[in-house]
Structure 1
Amino acid sequence: MSWQAQIITLYPDMFPGPLGHSLAGRALEQGTWACDPVQLRDFATDKHRTVDDTPAGGGAGMVLKSDILAAAIDHCLERQPDLPVIAMTPRGKPITQARVREIAGGGGVTLLCGRFEGFDERIFEGRPVEQISMGDIILSGGEMGALTLLDACIRLLPGVMGAASSGVEESFESGLLEYPHYTRPVEWEGHMIPEVLRSGDHARIAAWRKQRAEEDTRLRRPDLWERHIGVRDQSPSGAQRKTKGQRS
């Protein structure tokens, strides 16, 4: 059974887009996953196929209507009732690699792409919709975020990456940024590949990579480092380990 991707959008021609190429494209051709864009305007009830209206209380822009959104979501739930419905919105919870793995480990996902000023808030009260943000940035719509989330999931599907271990040491998989990579030539414009990577000593290489991953995470992403330290200092029971000098 293919991993199913339903995408509710005003621009179905944007899919599969870049996901029709490279590893994701090959997996799509092989039936590992299926791409099913759903045109939101198909659920409009007037001759103009209206999907939005002015904000209640005034203000700039337009807001996607809850009744039209609900009809589209109900259609997708009827076809794929077991798939989570996720709205791409900057008001959502920031995505994590752990959540990506959960989504990839299921049967697929239904993605709801916003436009204009976003969604009528009542859609989140009336339907089981999870709100996810791809980062603290502003995009023109949810489609680019949806493509990013789909790419993150598809690469984790069985058989998509060449080797089973290909993604194990990627950034965020262990809670750290990935260590830096080098390849030939050994010297480029006076810059050398670190000696340890040319030593053939696998234990030293592993230790160096671990040290660099920790150093780079601490310096570049202190938020990740704090979380990593917190997880590392948890005992198997979930209780915080006592540090030196700490009293019970």
Structure 2
Amino acid sequence: MRIDIITVVPEILKSPFEASILKRAIEKGLVEVHIHNLRDYAQGNYKQVDDYQFGGGAGMVLMIEPIDKCIQELKSQRAYDEVIYLTPDGQTLDQKMANSLSLLGNMIILCGHYKGVDQRVRDTLITREISIGDYVLSGGELGAAVLCDAIIRLLPGVLNDETSALTDSFQDNLLAPPVYTRPREYKGLEVPEILTSGNTKAIEAWREEQAQLRTLKLRPDLLK
């Protein structure tokens, strides 16, 4: 998989890919992540990428020209399955979407900034619009990091135990059951006896029941 991220502030995106699981996935060659500074495709001494919006109003808008140049240059080098724009009014990211995106080969992620991008970008260059939640951030960079993490951890070979991702919350519209580790007893708090019984079938049944109960209590909307 190859992910190309277009941004005005590439510095924000460096850290997430230099540590932990994402770094390991890149080093293993399981994914390529390339960050592109939109200003490299802008004209003039000031490398302007934004301007005032037509019709007046507060806030600057990312211009179509540098975005188009960047995307067209990338497309001239390879085919892309999706060109994604991160925006608060996009389709909300969920586990089902992450699963689907993890099966793709190449994608471009455009990070919005300021008041967003010229609508013509969305009308002609973008194939999918995604939101990470019903709130507004200063830019799409943190959203891009969230999206990449959700996708990359699902790629075969990224996690040490590939079955781990299959038991995460939301994979089957249920929250994950409670988990415990050593010590078996701490300050009078004990691990449920069933988990130390060695009865695999009973343990799986308990986990399924706990997942159902937890979802019913915390996220009943998932069961509809």
Which TM-score tier does this pair reach, normalised by the shorter chain?
over 0.9
Task: State the Cα RMSD in Å.
Answer: 1.6
For normalisation by structure 2, the TM-score amounts to 0.93
1: CA distance, partners of 2:187 / 2:85 = 47
1: CA distance, partners of 2:121 / 2:195 = 53
Q: Show structure 2 runs of 5+ residues with no match.
A: none
Q: Show structure 1 runs of 5+ residues with no match.
A: 227-248
Q: Deviations over 1:210-230 (max 9, x none)?
A: 11111111221122221xxxx
Aligned length: 224
Q: Deviations over 1:99-134 (max 9, x none)?
A: 212221121321000111111222111223311001
2: CA distance, partners of 1:83 / 1:13 = 26
Aligned to 1:137: 135
Q: Give yes or no for the alignment of 1:195 onto 2:193.
A: yes
Q: Deviations over 1:128-174 (max 9, x none)?
A: 33110011232221111111111111111221111231211111111
SS at match of 2:2: strand
- CA drift of 1:198 comes to 2.2
CA contact (8 A) 1:15 1:35 kept: no
For normalisation by structure 1, the TM-score amounts to 0.84
Question: Which residue identity is paired with 1:175?
Answer: N
- CA drift of 1:18 comes to 2.0
Does the C-alpha gap of structure 1 residues 128 and 115 become closer, same or farther in structure 2, counting only changes over 3 Å? Answer: closer
Residue among 45, 53, 69 paired with 1:55: 53
Aligned to 2:203: 205
2: CA distance, partners of 1:90 / 1:29 = 32
Aligned to 1:128: 126
Higher relative contact order (CA 8 A, sep 6+): 2
Aligned to 1:108: 106
1: CA distance, partners of 2:190 / 2:136 = 39
Residue among 215, 218, 221 paired with 2:216: 218
2: CA distance, partners of 1:89 / 1:190 = 48
CA contact (8 A) 2:5 2:34 kept: yes
Aligned to 2:2: 4
2: CA distance, partners of 1:30 / 1:202 = 33
Larger Rg: 1
Fraction of identical pairs, as percent = 39
CA contact (8 A) 1:7 1:110 kept: yes
